[in-house]
Structure 1
């Protein structure tokens, strides 16, 4: 049945209702519109005004219903469908809002705000390629739009295109100084390892008097960057500044917990992690209970986490395996029951050639790229790069990332299902949560540790000193013991691999690993990375 034609509203009534809308008197407008609908149920203006009144009062789902009725009465009116899209997005009906915005643009492609709103909605859905296209379409019509430039920068940053993101943030800032843009610029610079520039951006954002929530976030980001630089006191001051603004700020509590832990203040660290559920705070609490020797509390929380399932936390697997071996108990964690069988030691052919151009390019870019060092206590006689190598613009890093994606796909295809959740839920599309270089000189080594945020971790070797015959200098060792966990037993299993330049090693992120010291003048240079959980 075709929709009924809308009926006109008596002019005096329409004028009175429009005046209420213009004055922002939304409760009165809602009441008057509902009353009028009793007499004029097919009046298009009433449904549209009622939808506006409801939307402005935060009752977005009810507003959607009113705008849908208006669209039914006038399906060819793009302005009504635009109002519907706005309400749908506000109500969290994001896929429906996308469809509505696309319908608006089919009729009115010149409507810049519809392109922009479509972009923000797609951004919320994580459909970043489509969001980028929508923002670019908006910029064609309004190239000076600061909000569009900034949002496009955020999308490009999320897609790993940091140079382009930084360019768009700077372009937007040339037009208008906004704290949010400075904050986002700082996060992108930090991801590139440009820590001094990131600090400048965060400090500029704070000078811009941001609203409280953004100010607390920016202080925390500034603190994280100072932490990367090894400037602990300044990091702590920034975290405390965030908590002065928002005493419940989860990221600031988490970061202070990391500082306390690194300083050996385990009780203080536990108190910080008890204030937040952010990231892996639950695993960090479990780790601290174990270190502090609170055996019953540890066992209770471990049992609770294992009972809750689905055994997707590598750190819990590490703790469960260590506790089980130390006490001669069965390991109830199903993440990766036999982690040593998941070790892979292979060659990357383009890096393994005697005069590999790619290996030479990687070594050159590591020497010449503008990257700060990231301080970390487990590394002795060496340096680690800050930021995410695979999000940098150098072609060599991007080529290596593509090579690794192919190797990881092959590794995944060969995993034994008996390797538990690790094999069953192994990411079908590899996404790197981090990538960094480690360069060690004579005597260099890393103490035993895990990568808490990964699913799989790996290392690509670019330059490795030749060990003396019969020795394992510079090798990488894998085991169940590390992190200074309490232990009495001496019989801890360990596997040692001796890498060469061009080698790659994959392993579950739950497995402890360390490097053995070496002698000689040749640096040991590798790129380590984590594969994010699916």
Structure 2
């Protein structure tokens, strides 16, 4: 069990799963083994298996608050907010001081539109754990939905005291400033023309041309063992998504990583440091990459989202349908920036922009930029590889 938990905490999910299988083979109703296996399954996107293990852990130990809370998290991913609330509430009956369960209860309440209840839950979480980053930035999003930009801005400031690099707090801060009419300050964060970078990725030498390289990438993505169609999460609707391609990279993926790193390094080296700026004030010499591929069918989309804890994010376009055109006023299939992941007061239109995708093109942008795809209608599929650069050292 100790080895399995250590592997889980270090992100070695397959090794953790194998060790937990060994425990469960001999102790099939071991509550901790069932709970941690449920967490492992969740982190791999295997939600039904996760629910099965977490439910078994609760059956074996009905007063296991952590298992109830973990099950709440998985149910949130499946948009089953009623049951999520039930399990968060049960966790709090068992452990009233469980800050994480208060925060997750707030998340479920917010999704159901019970905004005042969500505020109370986030306050409870922060009273118990003043360093609870998610409760702090989710509090900001609720105040935005309640048309209280002053309180939203205060919540962002509190969150940024917890973590000066919290990407959600930076994004919600820009929205609060827009609502307050402080557009100059907001644009210091959302400088679209300056901070969204376009670059061409050069195909590795062993590939004859960009078209042949992208064909090989498309085949690798379609055949990747982690590819899941219609996943139960908030990142892809109407399509498929892989796990991190760099966990077990093929030679082709390694070649793509090298080409992408060369482009990122060139961009990073061109930047001029600006102390205090959320992107330019923390330019890293070393960074860890993740690569997540996606396939969108006609009508599919990536809803607005942020890549928390990353410094720079982006997407490389492997294949773009011919129906995604530059002269389309609706910008169908384009990547849109600035539209948030939370509802806003009627009549308020956030400042947004969009960029047209093209096969062979990569877009780089700060990780605190809300971004999502505008749905498109086409017979072809839209294929891309999203990346995040996480500072190291």
What's the TM-score bracket when you normalise by the shorter of the two chains? 0.7 to 0.9
Higher relative contact order (CA 8 A, sep 6+): 2
Aligned to 2:7: 156
Q: Is the 8 A contact 1:163 1:393 kept in 2?
A: no
Change (3 A) 1:515 1:152: same
1:417 alignment partner, SS class: coil
Unpaired runs of 5+ residues, structure 2, are: 127-131
- Aligned partner (choices 135, 159, 179) of residue 31 of structure 2: 179
CA RMSD of aligned residues (A): 3.7
| Count of residues paired in the alignment | 375
- Aligned partner (choices 375, 378, 381) of residue 520 of structure 1: 378
Q: Could you tell me how far apart the structure 1 residues matched to 2:339 and 2:47 are?
A: 34
Aligned to 2:212: 355
Q: Tell me which structure has the larger Cα radius of gyration.
A: 1
Aligned to 2:282: 425
Q: Could you tell me how far apart the structure 2 residues matched to 1:448 and 1:372 are?
A: 17
Change (3 A) 1:489 1:167: closer
Q: Could you tell me how far apart the structure 2 residues matched to 1:395 and 1:254 are?
A: 39
Aligned to 1:241: 90
Q: Could you tell me how far apart the structure 2 residues matched to 1:331 and 1:465 are?
A: 37
Change (3 A) 1:348 1:454: same
Q: Is the 8 A contact 1:453 1:530 kept in 2?
A: no
Q: Could you tell me how far apart the structure 1 residues matched to 2:93 and 2:376 are?
A: 47
Aligned to 2:118: 269
1:424 alignment partner, SS class: coil
Q: Is the 8 A contact 2:78 2:233 kept in 1?
A: yes
Map residues 52-451 of structure 1 onto 2, 5 A cutoff. 150-177=1-28, 178-209=30-61, 215-277=64-126, 278-301=132-155, 308=161, 311-329=164-182, 336=189, 338=191, 340-350=193-203, 353-356=210-213, 357-365=216-224, 369=227, 373-376=231-234, 382-383=238-239, 385=241, 388-390=243-245, 393=248, 395=250, 399=254, 402-403=257-258, 404=260, 407-418=263-274, 420-431=277-288, 436-451=292-307
Q: Could you tell me how far apart the structure 1 residues matched to 2:24 and 2:117 are?
A: 40
Change (3 A) 1:175 1:315: same
Change (3 A) 1:489 1:255: closer
Q: Is the 8 A contact 1:193 1:371 kept in 2?
A: no
Q: Is the 8 A contact 2:147 2:344 kept in 1?
A: no
Q: Is the 8 A contact 1:154 1:184 kept in 2?
A: yes
If the length of structure 2 is used for normalisation, what is the TM-score? 0.79
Q: Could you tell me how far apart the structure 2 residues matched to 1:259 and 1:383 are?
A: 25
Map residues 27-66 of structure 1 onto 2, 5 A cutoff. none
Structure having the larger proportion of residues in strand: 2
2:280 alignment partner, SS class: helix
Q: Is the 8 A contact 1:312 1:422 kept in 2?
A: no
Q: Could you tell me how far apart the structure 2 residues matched to 1:175 and 1:521 are?
A: 51
- Compute the displacement of 1:461 (Å): 2.7
If the length of structure 1 is used for normalisation, what is the TM-score? 0.60
Q: Is the 8 A contact 1:222 1:235 kept in 2?
A: yes
